[in-house]
Every structure is written in structure tokens, then in C-alpha cells.
Amino acid sequence: MSAAPDVVRSAYVQLAVTDLAASRWFWVDMLGMHVQHEDEDALYLRGSDELTHHSVVLRAAPVAALDHLAYRVRTPEDVDRAERFFTELECPVRRVPAGTGTRGVGDAVRVVDPLGVPVEFFHDIARGERLIQRYDLHRGAQIARLDHYNICTPDIPAAYEYYKSLGFGCSETIEGDEHELYAAWMFRKPTVHDVALTHGPGPYLHHIGMATHESHQVLHTADVFGALGKEHHIERGPGRHGVSNAFYVYLRDPDGHRVEVYTSDYFTGDPDYETHRWNVNDDRRRDFWGNAVITSWYKEASPVHDLDGHLQPIAEGNLDESSIKVGADGLGIVKPS
Ligand code: DHY
């Protein structure tokens, strides 16, 4: 098997949205993301700490879905490595030369990964002006950067093995008494995750996590949605996660794409970092204060496209446990291989 590409981090997501003006209100006015470029087809947004062209692209389309998520790789040669790696896995693979794909992004490879998720690997991307200390421009939820993706997939052990083969570490898991794997949080950058794997029918994009610096910004975001009578955009929280220790609120954008405003997780880069394992019966695992998880959080997610923009078919989970206590860990138990 060829070497895996050296993934640096989760870098950007491209979402198909049905009403760009409504999306602009949510992502720019409410979340405070900065507009790097906009035209009648798309919005290119980034957080205040990000020095690259975009971390969120919103593309106007008739149906809301995930176009692709993207990982930045360390060198241009890693783009070639990605092409070889996924060709050997017999995944659909497409080379996207600079100038023919997403604005600002250089030479890239797009694949449908073994989980059925459309993923881009790129190295080159245009730079953006440094906004870190442009406090005069920081607004709304004051999003600093993209932090992670969360994917719904019916076979968590297989997904875990696939991401390990791509060189990802595992910061935390939720497991049953026999170490059945319910969920896993996996990283390349030294934080809790670049990607989380949630059990259930899939492939779906469960959410994207956007980092802000302080927990009061999470609370303020919820307050402003309430003040405007737009509280229906708040789905779950605010609260403190058990897994990751992050402070969070989950929002739904005008198309139902789920966004987590996320802060205060921790460093995982030491060479002897050990996976922290939560038992599925520990009520603090998902919300550290034991608050229940709302049904829509584990029943709804965004469909994903293939490389031609068609919706990917869905494989069901094998058990439905959403009505019993373990609910939020996904919809079934799968033993690791
Ligand atoms: C959890 C979910 C996330 C995350 C960290 C931890 C666990 C949970 O509360 O469900 O999306 O980023």
C-alpha cells in the first residue's frame, strides 16, 4: 500500500445552500465570519484567526448538501500521494488542477472516501489578510477558525481503521462494557479532533465545528438568536461536553446544516498521549452536566454529494437504539474488528 498523504488539518468545507442571502445572514451577520469573496454563485468565508482564503464556501444550489470537505496536506507531493492512496483503495478519484476547482485552492485531488464522503486534499491555497487583531471587525459569534467535521457512518470500527490508516490519532472514544466502539474523535492537528465519527445511517455530514475563543461568546451567540426571535436556529446546548471538555452550542443554518460553536478543548500533541475512553453508560459523556440530547441531533444530518454532484445513497445502521439511554452515541452497536 502506498504511503498516506501527510494531512495537516481539516481546512475547509463546501456546502450547497439554497438561498445565499439567508445563508449570508446566518454565517456573516450572526456567526461573524469574514467575507473573502462573494459573487452570485457563492460566498467564501473565513474566521478571524485564519490566514487562508476560506474555511467555509457556500455554493448556491437547488438542494442543500455537502459538496466536499477538505484536508490540507503538508507538501504538493502529498497531493500526488493522496491520488495514489485512494486509487489503490479503489475509491472514485479525480484530479482537480489549479483554477478549475474551488476558488483560491491550487492543485487538488477529490475522492469519495471509503465512508462514502466527498473529500478534497490540497496543499496550495491563496492567503487572506491578517485579521487576528482587527478587533473592530470581530462580530457576532466571533468565529476564529474551523475546528472539525463530524461524519455519520454505519460502521464505526471500519471508519476508525480507515482514519488510522490516514495517520490520524484518536483522542477520545465512547465504548460499551466490551469495548464496542460507539464513537471516536480523531486528529491530525494537536487538538481533540479534525474529524469525529458518529454511528448511524450514512454517509451524512453531521456537523462542522467552528472554534471561538471564549465560552461567553457561545452564550452571547445563543442570547442574540433569542433576542431576535430566531431561537429555532438553536438546537442543542449551550453546555459543556464530557468528550473534549469543550463548551458548545449547536445551531442549524437556514438549510438545516448543523454548526457547532465550540471552544476550550485541549492539546493532544504529546507523543505519549493516550486515548481517553468514556463508557457509554456514563451520563456525562456527551453533556458533562447530564443534560439529555435532543432527538433531532442524532436523527438529522446533511446528505453528501458524489464527485458529480449527485446525492450519495445511504446505508442504514443495523440497530436503532435512539429511543434508549445510549441514544446520542448513535443508532447501534458495532464490535470493533
Ligand atoms: C461531543 C460532540 C461533539 C464534539 C465534542 C464532543 C460529544 C457530545 O456531546 O455529543 O460534536 O465536538
List, as one string, the DSSP characters of 82-138: HHHHHHHTT--EEEE-TTSSSTTB-SEEEEE-TTS-EEEEE--B-B----TT-GGG-
CA–CA dist 185, 124 (Å, integer): 27
| For ligand 1, mutation pick of 248, 261, 276, 291 (most atoms within 8 Å of CB) | 248
Say how many Å lie between the CA of residue 141 and the centre of ligand 1. 19
Domains identified in the chain and CATH numbers: 7-124 (3.10.180.10), 141-304 (3.10.180.10)
DSSP letters for 113-125 = -TTS-EEEEE--B
CA–CA dist 26, 128 (Å, integer): 22
Q: Scanning the structure block, which residue is given the C-alpha cell 477558525?
A: 145
Query: What is the tens place of the pLDDT at every residue in 220-273?
Result: 999 999 999 999 999 999 999 999 999 999 999 999 999 999 999 999 999 999
213: left (phi over 0), alpha (psi -120 to 50) or beta: alpha
Return the amino acid letter for 289: W
Closest CA to 303 of 62, 33, 25: 62
Nearest CA residue ID for atom 6, ligand 1: 243
Q: Between the CA of residue 168 and those of 84, 114, 165, 175, what are the distances in Å?
A: 18, 15, 7, 19
List the 42-46 sheet strands across, edge first.
Answer: 34-38, 42-46, 56-60, 7-17, 65-73, 118-122, 108-112, 93-96
CA–CA dist 202, 116 (Å, integer): 8
DSSP letters for 157-182 = HHHHHHHHHTT-EEEEEEE-TT--EE
In ligand 1, the atom with minimum distance to the C-alpha of 174 is 7
What is the mean pLDDT of the segment spanning 216-222? 98
Query: What is the tens place of the pLDDT at every residue in 134-160?
Result: 999 999 999 999 999 999 999 999 999
In ligand 1, the atom with minimum distance to the C-alpha of 239 is 9
Nearest CA residue ID for atom 12, ligand 1: 209
Q: Are 145 and 121 in contact (CB under 8 A)?
A: no
- pTM to 2 decimal places: 0.95
Query: What is the tens place of the pLDDT at every residue in 95-146?
Result: 999 999 999 999 999 999 999 999 999 999 999 999 999 999 999 999 999 9
